[in-house]
């Protein structure tokens, strides 16, 4: 059964740190999860206003805590950042009615989207030309997310998962 979630690319964009930091973070994570090894070139696509909301209590894979060295934002992220990640395999359609791309929802342990059901960060190994700020898009999940979030995930960063009402 395929679940289709619509959303909109954040019109405010991100902070731009993912474009630089993912060049060092993804290779560190790929040691544990090689499927994302080529997703380090384009940063992330931040999608908000998910309808329906996406529960993030399960994923396809959760890494152990992995230490990586941020290039920018070290005043907030630290110089050697221990962090775990979850990954959900998706097909990303952008714009709606346009092409679909193999992609991943990434759930960084230290990022707020990992604990809210209304937004996601998406990574892909290819450039998604239709992914422009404010553009409507769709996320297709065509499999069961079978791996439960580890109990310890988020504790280091004072985070915990609280599902949205109705999700």
- The verdict on residue 162 lying in a domain is no
Cβ atoms of 130 and 8 within 8 Å: the answer is no
The pLDDT tens digits along the chain (167 residues) read 789 999 999 988 666 667 889 999 999 999 999 999 999 998 899 999 999 999 899 999 999 999 999 998 888 888 999 999 999 999 999 999 999 999 999 999 998 889 989 999 999 999 999 999 999 999 999 999 999 999 999 999 988 777 666 55
Residue 148 preceded by cis peptide, ω within 30: no
CA dist 145 → 35, 60, 108, 139, 142 (Å): 16, 5, 17, 14, 9
Q: Is residue 117 part of a domain?
A: yes
How confident is the model at residue 166, as a pLDDT? Answer: 54
- pLDDT tens digits along 134-152: 999 999 999 999 999 999 9
Has residue 74 been placed in a domain?
yes
Residue 160 lies in a domain: no
52/135 Cα distance (integer angstroms): 17
Residue 64, in any domain of the structure = yes
CATH code for position 122: 2.40.30.30
Q: In this predicted structure, what is the pLDDT of residue 94?
A: 97
Give a yes or no: residue 106 inside a domain: yes
Residues of the domain holding 10: 3-144
- Structural domains of the chain, count: 1
For residue 163, is it within any domain?
Answer: no
pLDDT tens readout for residues 85-108: 999 999 999 999 999 999 999 999
**49 in Cβ contact with 118 (< 8 Å):** yes
C-alpha–C-alpha distance, residues 56 and 167, integer Å: 10
Q: Is residue 150 part of a domain?
A: no
Cα separation, 8 vs 90, whole angstroms: 16
């Amino acid at each position: 059964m395929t679940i289709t979630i619509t959303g909109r690319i954040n019109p405010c964009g991100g902070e731009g740190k993912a474009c630089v930091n993912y060049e060092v973070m993804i290779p560190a994570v790929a040691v544990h999860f090689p499927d994302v090894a080529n997703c380090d070139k384009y940063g992330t696509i931040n999608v908000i206003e998910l309808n329906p909301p996406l529960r993030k209590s399960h994923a396809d894979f959760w890494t152990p805590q992995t230490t990586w060295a941020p290039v920018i934002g070290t005043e907030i992220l630290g110089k050697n950042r221990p962090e775990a990640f979850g990954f959900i395999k998706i097909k990303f359609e952008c714009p709606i009615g346009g092409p679909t791309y193999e992609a991943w929802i990434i759930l960084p342990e230290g990022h707020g989207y990992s604990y809210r059901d209304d937004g996601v960060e998406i990574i892909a190994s290819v450039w998604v030309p239709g992914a422009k700020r404010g553009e409507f898009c769709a996320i297709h999940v065509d499999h069961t997310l079978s791996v439960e979030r580890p109990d310890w995930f988020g504790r280091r960063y004072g985070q915990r998962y609280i599902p949205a009402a109705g999700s």
